[in-house]
Structure 1
Amino acid sequence: MTTPTDATYADQLDATDDLAGFRQAFVNDDPHLIYLDGNSLGRLPRATTDLAADLVRRQWGSRLIRGWNEGWFDLPERIGAKIARLIGADPDEVIVADSTSVNLFKLIIAALRARPGRERIISDDLNFPSDLYIIQGAIDMLGAGHEIALAYSSDGIHGPVETILGLLDQTTALLTLSHVTFKSGFLYDINALTAAAHAVGALTIWDLSHSVGVVPIHLKESGADMAVGCCYKYLNGGPGAPAFLYIRRDLQEQLVNPIAGWMGQRNLFDFDLAYQPAPGLRQFLTGTPPVVSLALIEPGVDLLLAAGIERLRAKSVAQTEYLIELWQQRLAPLGYTLNSPRDPARRGSHISLGHPEGLGIDLALINELGVLPDFRTPDNIRLGIAPLYTSFRDIHTAVERLAQAVTEQRYLKYRDHRPTVT
């Protein structure tokens, strides 16, 4: 059955959406803007604005340093415990700290030191480049005794699962991948690949940045060793929000934080000159947490927990399927290609559409046509579906404007433009 392409059908889908009410929980100052970049920066929850005012005026302004004993000190664990519910972990297995890159660095060094005599680190060419930079830096720091073995995707869309399985052997110390790849949105099977890594004695680190908040994740069930993730995408924690890390409980005392710091000290107010790591996950804290930006993560996480990750996933699949159907009917004839997996079981919550004039189209959408996606080289226009606030009508309107950008050749004036942030 062919999916109707009229706006009325989109409105019918919205009318039966049991998550539609969550849209009102977010600030929307421009009702004409179609925002499809929640996979890069989530919208602002209304509750966050009230919390920000309280943090600045009352907690900082009035309570001053007393705030540390009135909730600030426990923020990394308290918010981490809530994120744990979204990723299938126990409350004491997740903590919020630093950035995704810093957390990944800490875990890579810890993992490699825990697997002496093994030199190989396996990843893929679909991984976020920053993750690969971190691996390279870790190798340098440890004396260049390790090597990266990259598995290459045959089409730039689907993860090279069979190649990864073929690379795993007794020399492998670590397998680290993005759960959902940043360009195509390919979704790896954490359970299967973790089991394969464990079969050869290797550890695993998963980057959950493009899956947490939209894809059900079951870290404890999978046996995954470690994970990291950012809080400013689907968690709606704000630009540059601190990230989180996960370490399976039985590994927490076996791994050592390579960036020892005051907040990870066992009795930090004893001011002992010798470092003694705190028990459990708190040893992976380093410096003083940024209280304001850390606290502002919580309202977005609370909204996701209220909606329920299974319902969010169901809506995400329905919306990405709808978008793909519209692409096939309206956009494929205009030269757009589908650069994401067709199988929803192997796809996250963003869709990449390719076009030879992709960057120009992206800029025309942003500057002229009231749609905010983003662009990733060489030709990917990424359309992020955030089920908490993206409507089916948003998707329909965006597709119509994608068509308009090509039929009216709006991209021509942007051929020589390349903004710093795309």
Structure 2
Amino acid sequence: MRTLTFSDGEGTERTWHPDGTRSAFDAFADFMEAHLDDDSTSVRVEDAETGDALVFLFEEEAVARVRGAGDGRSAYRVVDGGGAYRTLVVNFARGGFASLDRFGPWLPDLADLARARLRNAFETSPLRRTHPRELRRRLELLTRAGGRAPTTDGEVTRFGFGDGAGGTVDAWWTTGGRALLVTYDPDGALGSPDGAHAALYDGVPEDLLALARNTPAAETAGGALPAATGVFHLSGPCAMATGLVDRLRETGAEIGDTGTGRLLDPFLTGAGLTPETVARAAPGWRAEDVAAAFAETAAVPAPAPADRETLDRFCRIWADSGYNDRWDVHYVFFDGHALERTGGSRDELLRLIGTLGLERVDAPPGAATGEVWVRTDPRIDAELGRWA
């Protein structure tokens, strides 16, 4: 354990020694309570021997780790709750600067931190919280309710609807579960002249970008990529395109300004979608189209049963090395593990994913090389209560 110095940027300091009666975090919490108020912007936790430090930045909702001894290099990460304070302080006291590596990703500058904060904010959005199976079903229903029909070309189905005032939602969905979703709100904060939208697609995987490029020219702005104020891809957990994140950062706009807040969220929030809720959210749609959409859109089909041994083997690995993400949309395995640390269990898991016909998706940016993300499945969910 290391001797730590706490300071508040206003000249107040307190030193904690590991041989005392208070734990490092309890002493840190005492310091916070005694010396910080609503106007405080930061607090520093410094290794008394090396000069390495943790700096909690309250306005940025972030923490920096700083090398001491004249180095001065800083790296940043988003703080997503009070529990992160405890984790970081305790591990810093035990193992110093290097012990924080596994609590990243640590970002090299404030611009990357701003991007991470936007992505973190998106985590609580209705679009991110909606399971892709249910999102696909609702997009199909809304396409029909808006007076159109889904179109399928090979392994790709296209959905889309408009609000009658120039706002549109379009989506391309592959049979493998990968998808691209584009919103366009011409009157929103991100509305831009034709051609200025292309940069919003930066960072979309090439296979998904190709789906939008193949859209008939008559249905796009300039025959290139569809006009957009919001670009989202489901190659892994639903995410904003890097180009969209950069536009939000540059303009100071909010995620709802992408068009999701007006065009999509009303159909994703609440307990369920009914003809009445659709009619309220889209008063310009014809009642007969809405009624027909509910009659024609099937429920999400139940997956084929799996044998008991295969289910048990999958659930055993989940119990040992996995958990559900915060919205129960994904099973996450080997969180924070480098590939070489996962051993044979990861190879077995990948075989079981194939046998069960589950949808494995790309791990999020910054995830450890050994992590495996899989969309949740009702067959597995029904069993996990016995393994939790």
Give the structure with higher Rg (CA).
2
Q: Which has the higher contact order (CA 8 A, sep 6+)?
A: 1
Tell me the TM-score normalized by structure 1.
0.30
More strand by share: 2
Tell me the TM-score normalized by structure 2.
0.31
More helix by share: 1
